[in-house]
A and B are shown apart, each in its own frame.
Chain A
Amino acid sequence: AQKITQTQPGMFVQEKEAVTLDCTYDTSDPSYGLFWYKQPSSGEMIFLIYQGSYDQQNATEGRYSLNFQKARKSANLVISASQLGDSAMYFCAAGGTSYGKLTFGQGTILTVHP
């Protein structure tokens, strides 16, 4: 079983600045995957980035990067050059050896100011 903790209920950032959204996880699985999803106000869930527990390098996808610190059990999402369209709820999720089952955190609401 996994537990995901997102300690920032809300975050604010100026347009064009970088922002880090925190995520810590707890799992008993030796192998696991970490995901970040974006949920805009329209409600759909949009996949952003994935990190495998045995991946040597931090994952990057365009303006998104995942700061993976295995010893600290953290998987923070870094968004560079924030845009107004980045305003949304962001969820961290983890999955382990139970095939495909994901556990989600409570989410962080990001607001980007012009």
Chain B
Amino acid sequence: NAGVTQTPKFQVLKTGQSMTLQCAQDMNHNSMYWYRQDPGMGLRLIYYSASEGTTDKGEVPNGYNVSRLNKREFSLRLESAAPSQTSVYFCASSDVGVFSNQPQHFGDGTRLSIL
């Protein structure tokens, strides 16, 4: 009963380093999403993939890239990490758009600190 799995759970980087956050879902969902959560704020959408083979920018895409590797996997890459990217990152997936009662299912998050 894995649902959405994110790796790693914790990571510390130095400014300028690169890193890829991995996300995989086993629910056969079409859509996948990456959010960041900063203290005192709600989740903000970074990128999303409505279906395999497509990706689109969300609210805060600068400094990130994504890859929808296949239907199961959606990765988030920081090419040159900056302290402003210190955050908790959540991956989510959903079966259809918001006009059904199917919610987005979230992974447990990755706590990323950039020094």
Our count of residue pairs bridging A and B at CB distance below 8 angstroms stands at 66
Is there contact, CB below 8 Å, between B105 and A106?
no
Q: Is B23 an interface residue (CB 8 A)?
A: no
Complex interface bits, A96-108 against B, C-beta within 8 A gives 1, otherwise 0: 1001111111110
Beyond A99-B31, A99-B50, A102-B104, whether A91 also contacts B43 by CB under 8 A is yes
Is there contact, CB below 8 Å, between B42 and A106?
yes
Is there contact, CB below 8 Å, between A50 and B50?
no
Chain B's interface size range is: 20 to 34
A contacts with B, residue count (CB < 8 A): 25
Binding site for B on A (CB under 8 A): 4, 31-33, 35, 37, 43-45, 47, 50, 52, 91, 93, 95-96, 99-107
- 28 A–B contacts, CB within 8 A, in A order: A4-B42, A33-B99, A35-B103, A37-B106, A43-B88, A43-B108, A43-B109, A44-B106, A44-B109, A45-B43, A45-B92, A47-B104, A47-B105, A50-B103, A52-B99, A95-B97, A99-B98, A100-B48, A100-B50, A100-B94, A100-B104, A101-B33, A101-B58, A102-B104, A105-B42, A106-B42, A107-B41, A107-B42
